[in-house]
């Protein structure tokens, strides 16, 4: 693959932190812990496997504000959606969350320790502003806006992650590739150009036509990315 990862470097935190995995596992037993929501679990997986490169953790307030205002991280890298770890006031109090606190982040399905976050800051978002800036309107008919107002907790914590292990999956195992695995797969197949279509539901005819035309125009292979 000739294209560089977004941001220049693929941030595979699981691979990076593999040499200290046992130490992180032991530390996770002794520090405050946070059970993730399903949404947070998905975000964590994409941060730690490099899907959200160049992020190495959940966004600090500076990055969050820059993304909302400029569609870029503070360093200027294009990034259009805030990636946040939300916590409640009771979480902040009970876990003693403050800058420098290390918290074990656990899988809500099996309680496995997946990563440790070192808190850099705690901030309270303006959810109306976030809805307008990120989704175009503060309209609860939009599923993401409804989730923001009804499910997301009152505070965000930002900070870098150290990965312990990826979440365990039992469905579609043969179709789950990390970014690094996909790049290796493309290389094995000698795919030099790839047109990717990211879909949240089965493709309809217009989606198919758009993807096929793009692939033909660029003489590329096709990746369907659900």
For residue 200, indicate whether it is catalytic. yes
DSSP-derived secondary structure letter, 72: B
For residue 201, indicate whether it is catalytic. yes
Query: 149: number of CA atoms within 13 Å, CB side?
Result: 14
Q: Which of 3, 30, 200, 205 is catalytic?
A: 200
Q: Which of 176, 199, 208, 218 is catalytic?
A: 199
Q: Which of 3, 150, 201, 205 is catalytic?
A: 201
156-167: string of b/e by CB count within 10 Å (b at 16+)? bbbbbbbbbbbb
* CA gap 32, 28 in Å, rounded: 8
| DSSP state letters, 28-50 | HTTS-EEEPPHHHHHHHHHHHTT
* CA gap 38, 165 in Å, rounded: 16
For residue 199, indicate whether it is catalytic. yes
List residues with catalytic annotation: 199-201
């Amino acid at each position: 693959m000739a294209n560089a990862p977004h941001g220049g470097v693929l941030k595979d935190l699981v691979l990076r932190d593999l040499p200290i995995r046992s130490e992180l596992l032991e530390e996770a037993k002794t520090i405050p812990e946070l059970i993730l929501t399903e949404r947070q679990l998905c975000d964590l997986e994409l941060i730690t496997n490099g899907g959200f490169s160049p992020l190495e953790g959940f966004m600090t307030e500076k990055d969050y504000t820059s993304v909302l205002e400029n569609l870029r991280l503070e360093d200027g890298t294009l990034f259009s959606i805030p990636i946040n770890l939300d916590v409640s006031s009771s979480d902040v109090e009970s876990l003693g969350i403050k800058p420098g606190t290390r918290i074990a982040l656990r899988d809500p399905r099996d309680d496995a320790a997946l990563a440790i976050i070192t808190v850099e800051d705690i901030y309270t978002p303006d959810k109306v502003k976030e809805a307008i800036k990120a989704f175009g309107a503060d309209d609860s008919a939009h599923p993401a806006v409804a989730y923001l107002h009804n499910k997301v907790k009152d505070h965000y914590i930002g900070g870098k992650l150290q990965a312990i292990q990826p979440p365990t999956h039992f469905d579609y195992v043969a179709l789950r590739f990390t970014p690094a695995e996909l790049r290796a797969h493309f290389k094995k197949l000698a795919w030099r150009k790839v047109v990717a279509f990211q879909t949240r539901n089965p493709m309809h005819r217009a989606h198919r036509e758009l993807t096929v035309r793009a692939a033909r125009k660029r003489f590329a292979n096709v990746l369907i990315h659900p």
